[in-house]
Structure 1
Amino acid sequence: MKNSDKKTHIRYLMLVFMGVAMLVNFIDRATLSVAAPVMSKELNFSAADMGWAFSAFGWAYMLFQIPGGILLDKFGSRLVYGLAMIVWSIFTFLQGGVYLFPSVFMALFILRFLMGMAEAPATPASSRLSVQWFPDRERGFATSIYQTAPYVALGVFTPVLSWVISIYSWHYVFYSAGLLGIVFGAFWLMFVRDPLKHKSINQQELDYIREGGGIPELGSAQRQSQQKVSWAQIKTMCSNRMMIGVYIGQFCLTSITWFFFTWFPTYLYQEKGLSIIKVGLVAAIPAIAGFVGGIIGGMLSDYLLRKGYSLTFSRKLPIVSGMLLSCSIIVANYTQSIPVVIFVMSLAFFAKGFSNLGWCVLSDTSPKEVLGLAGGIFNTFGNVAGILTPLVIGFIIQATGSFDWAIIYVGSMGIVGVISYLFIVGKLQRLTLSPAPDLTASKTAVHN
C-alpha cells in the first residue's frame, strides 16, 4: 500500500478498466447483430432462425448468472472476470468459421450459447467492483460509466464493424472482436486488483471509500468468514417485494437493449432499405444518444443524493422518467421519414440510458455479504429478456412480414417498467440477511 498524506485516486483507474472490459463484452455481443443482414442472406437463415441464433446467448447468460455469482463471491471479480473475458473472446473468434461445420446453424447456436455462459459473471463482477472501489455518492456515476459501454459498442464499433464487412466479409467481424477480447483479458489479469491488494492505493483513499459506504474488504478471507449464507436466506432475497419490482424493471430495460443489440441493424437494412454501410452509420446515432443519456442519468442521481434527497427519490426519478420516455419508440411505426425514425430511436435510446440505474439500485440494496450472488439473481431475471426479445421479434417478423408489432412490443416495456418501480418497488433500502442457523450448536443443544 502506498504511503502518502494526500488521498490517491486509484478507483478511477479501476473504473477505466471496468468500462473497457464492459465495452469488450458488448462488442462481442454485437458482432452477430452487425453481421446478421449479410450473414443470414449468405447462409439462408430465416427470420425465425436468426431469432433462435440471437437468443442462444440469452439462454446461457440467464442460466449461468447464479453459478457465476457464486464464483465471484468465492474467487473474486478480478480472476473470474479476466478468465471469463478470454474464454468468451475465443468463442467469439470461432464464430467467424461456422461455415466450416457440417451444421452451420447448430455450430452458431452452440458457440453463441458458450459465449453467453462465459459472459455470465461480467456485469455482476462490475457491480461488485463498484461496491469495493466507490462510496455511495459516486456509485451512480461509476455505474453509468460501465453501463454506457453498450452504447459505445454500438455507436463507435457498429460503423467500424460494418466497414469491415464491406471491405472483407462478415467472418472478420468475429475474428477482430475475438482477438481484441483475448488481448484485453490478459491486460485485466495483469493490472486489476482488489482495493486491499493494490500497491498504489493509500489509506486515505481506503478510508474515503469505506466511510462513504463502499466495502473495500469485500472478498477478503476475514469478511467471507463473517457470514455464512443459507438457501433460506437466498429464498428471502428472491421473494422480497422491493427486489421483485427491481427485477421486473430490469427485464423491461433489458428488453429495449436487446432490440438494439439484435434486430435494429436488420430493421434498418430490411424495413428501411439502407445499405450495410449506412446501417452502420445510422445505428451509431441512437447509441451515442444512449451514451449521453446514461452519463446524465447517473450524474443526476448522484447529484440528488449529495443534495440530501432520499436514496429512493434520487434513484427512482431518472429510472421512471427515462422508461416513460422510452415508449416514444412506437412513433417510428407512423412515419416513413428516415430522419424522423432515427430521431425517435435516438430519443428512446437516450431515455433507456437515462433510466439505466438498475445495477446501481442493486448495489445500494443488496445484502453486503452476497453481492456477487445478488448480482447473479438480478441478472438472471433481467436477462430472461435476452431470450424472449429476439425470439418474439423473430416470430413476429416471420408471421407478419413487418416490424410494426415488434416495435410496439419493445415500446410497451417502458410502461411495464414504470408500473413496477412506482407500485411494486417501494422504498429503496439495503436488505440485511438474518444469520444462518448454527446447525452445530442446534445439534449440541438437542443432544444435551
Structure 2
Amino acid sequence: MLEKSTKKRYNILAMVFFTVVINYLDRSNISVAAFALSDELELSTVQMGYIFSAFAWTYAILQIPGGIMADKIKTRFLYPILMAFWSIATLIQGVANSFLLLIGLRASIGIFEAPSYPINNLIVTRWFPDNERASAIAVYTSGQYLGLAFLTPVLTWIQSQMGWRGLFIVSGIIGLVWALVWYIFYRDPKEHKSISQNELKHIADGGGLIDLKSNVKGKPKEKFEMSDLIQVFKYRKLWGIYIGQFCLGATAIFFLTWFPTYLVKYRGLDFLQSGFLASIPFLAAFAGILLSGFSSDYLVKKGYSNEIARKGPIVIGMLLSTAIIGANYTEDNTLVILFLAIAFFGNGLASIAWVFVSLMAPKNLIGLTGGAFNFIGGLSAVVVPVVIGYLVKDGDFKPALFFIGGVAFLGFFCYTFVIGKVERIVPKS
C-alpha cells in the first residue's frame, strides 16, 4: 500500500507567515505611534527620522553575521530566542521617555531581527522544491503587507484607547507568546515526525535542500572563512540583486515609517481615518506579492525561462513603484491614495526578489548570501527615513516622494540590465 503524501510544508509556511506579521508589527508600530509620541516627547521631524532609522542601523550591519548564524545554528532554537528578545525590546518602548532611549530600543530590535529573513529564506529553501519556492516566498512575504493592512486600523484603535505606550506593550506580549509556539512546533524536514517519505521525496526531487542542516549532529561544524565573504561580494549578478533590494526597500520603508505621518500632518487627515486609508496601499501590496509569486511559479511550470518568470514581475513592479511621484500632482486625497496604492502594488510585485538568493547563491552560502542581500537592502532603512526627515523639515513632502520614485527607477535599471542570466553561482576552486 502506497504511503499517503503529507503537506506539512504548508504548515511550516503558515508559521513563517505569522512570524513575518509579528516581525513587521514590531518594526512598524513606531509609525502609528509617531504622531502622538513626537508631540508628547517634543521631537522634531529630524529626530523622528533618526528614530525611524535606528532599527536599521543594527539590522543592516548584522545581516551578514545573521546569515552566518542562520547557516550554523539550528532554526528551532535560534528563531524563538531572537523573537523573545526583540519582543521584550518592543514592550520596553512602552515606558520610554527620551529620544536617546527610543534610539537604543529601536536599535536593539534591529539586532535581534537581523537574522530573521535569512532564516525565512533558509526555511523555504529546505522545505519547498524550486517550482513552488516563489509562491512560498510570496506567501510569507505577504505577511508584512496583509498583516499591516488589517493591523494598521487595529493599531490606531489600540493607541486611541490605550495610548502609544499601550500600543508597544501589547505588541511585545504578542511576540513573546509566539516565540514559545515556534519552539514547540517547528522542525526541519528530516526531523519532522509526521512528514511522509513521499513529501520528503517531492521536496528533494524538486531541488529543495532537505539535507541543508545547520550544525548537523555527528559532523564537524563548517568553519566560517573570510573567503566565503569574498565569494558573496565578488559577482556582478549578486550586486544586481543587492542594489535592487536597496531600491525595493526604499519604497517599503516609506510606508513603514513616514506614511501615517504624511497622511495626518501633510494631508490633513483625521488620525483614525488615516488608519483605515493607510490599509489600502498595504492591501494593494498584498495583492501584488501574491500575484507575483503564483504567476512566477506558473510560468516556470509552463517552461518559461527564469529571465521571464522570475525577473518579469520584479521589473514591472519596480517601474510601477515610480507612480508614487504622482501624489505630488494632486490635492485630491482619493487620488493620493490611488497613486500610493499603485506604487505599493508594484513594490509587492517586486517582493519575490528573495527567490534570486535561492536560485543564484552558492549552495553552501545561501544564509550568508541572504545576509549580504538583506544587509544592502537594509541600508535603505538606514538612509531613507533620515533623508526624508531632512527633506520635509521645511514642511514640504514633495521632494521626499520624488526621492522615493527615483530610487525605484534605479531598481528597475538594476534588475533589467545588471543581473544577467539567472543561474546558480558555482565558485571556482
Q: Distance in 2 between matches of 1:153 and 1:210?
A: 31
Alignment of 1:89-168 (within 5 A): 89-99=87-97, 104-168=98-162
Task: Say whether the 8 Å CA contact 2:232–2:368 is kept in structure 1.
Answer: no
- Paired positions, count: 428
Residue identity opposite 2:250 in structure 1: S
Q: 1:329 aligns with which of 324, 345, 352?
A: 324
Unmatched tracts of structure 1, length 5 or more = 436-448
Residue identity opposite 1:266 in structure 2: T
Q: Distance in 2 between matches of 1:226 and 1:84?
A: 22
**Pairing 1:357–2:391 present:** no
Task: Say whether the 8 Å CA contact 1:22–1:147 is kept in structure 2.
Answer: yes
Q: 2:342 aligns with which of 347, 361, 364?
A: 347
**Pairing 1:276–2:274 present:** no
Q: Distance in 2 between matches of 1:4 and 1:345?
A: 52
Bigger radius of gyration, 1 or 2? Answer: 1
Partner of residue 403, structure 2: 409
**Mean CA deviation greater in 159-168 or 247-256:** 159-168
Q: Cα distance 1:38–1:200, how it changes in 2: closer, same or farther (>3 A)?
A: same
Q: Distance in 2 between matches of 1:434 and 1:182?
A: 44
Partner of residue 74, structure 1: 72
Q: Distance in 2 between matches of 1:32 and 1:237?
A: 33
1:111-141 deviations in Å (ceiling 9; x for gaps): 0000000000111100000000000000000
Q: Distance in 2 between matches of 1:349 and 1:27?
A: 18
Task: Say whether the 8 Å CA contact 2:189–2:200 is kept in structure 1.
Answer: yes
SS at match of 1:16: helix
Q: 1:252 aligns with which of 247, 250, 264?
A: 247
Aligned-residue offset at 1:433: 3.2
Task: Say whether the 8 Å CA contact 1:80–1:121 is kept in structure 2.
Answer: no
Q: Cα distance 1:86–1:226, how it changes in 2: closer, same or farther (>3 A)?
A: closer
SS at match of 1:164: helix
**Pairing 1:29–2:20 present:** no
SS at match of 1:421: helix
Residue identity opposite 2:80 in structure 1: G
Q: Cα distance 1:277–1:4, how it changes in 2: closer, same or farther (>3 A)?
A: farther
Alignment of 1:190-205 (within 5 A): 190-205=184-199
C-alpha root-mean-square deviation of aligned residues, in Å?
1.5
Q: Distance in 2 between matches of 1:148 and 1:389?
A: 22
Partner of residue 439, structure 1: none
Task: Say whether the 8 Å CA contact 1:77–1:128 is kept in structure 2.
Answer: no
Q: Cα distance 1:226–1:167, how it changes in 2: closer, same or farther (>3 A)?
A: closer
Task: Say whether the 8 Å CA contact 1:76–1:219 is kept in structure 2.
Answer: yes
Partner of residue 170, structure 2: 176
Partner of residue 84, structure 2: 86
Q: Distance in 1 between matches of 2:31 and 2:17?
A: 21
Identity among equivalent pairs (%)? 40
Alignment of 1:193-272 (within 5 A): 193-219=187-213, 221=216, 230-272=225-267
Residue identity opposite 1:429 in structure 2: E
**Pairing 1:393–2:391 present:** no
Aligned-residue offset at 1:76: 2.5
Partner of residue 440, structure 1: none
SS at match of 1:165: helix
Residue identity opposite 2:35 in structure 1: P
Aligned-residue offset at 1:326: 0.9
Q: 1:307 aligns with which of 302, 311, 318?
A: 302
Structure 2 length as normaliser, TM-score?
0.97
SS at match of 2:331: coil
Q: 2:282 aligns with which of 281, 287, 310?
A: 287
Aligned-residue offset at 1:154: 1.9
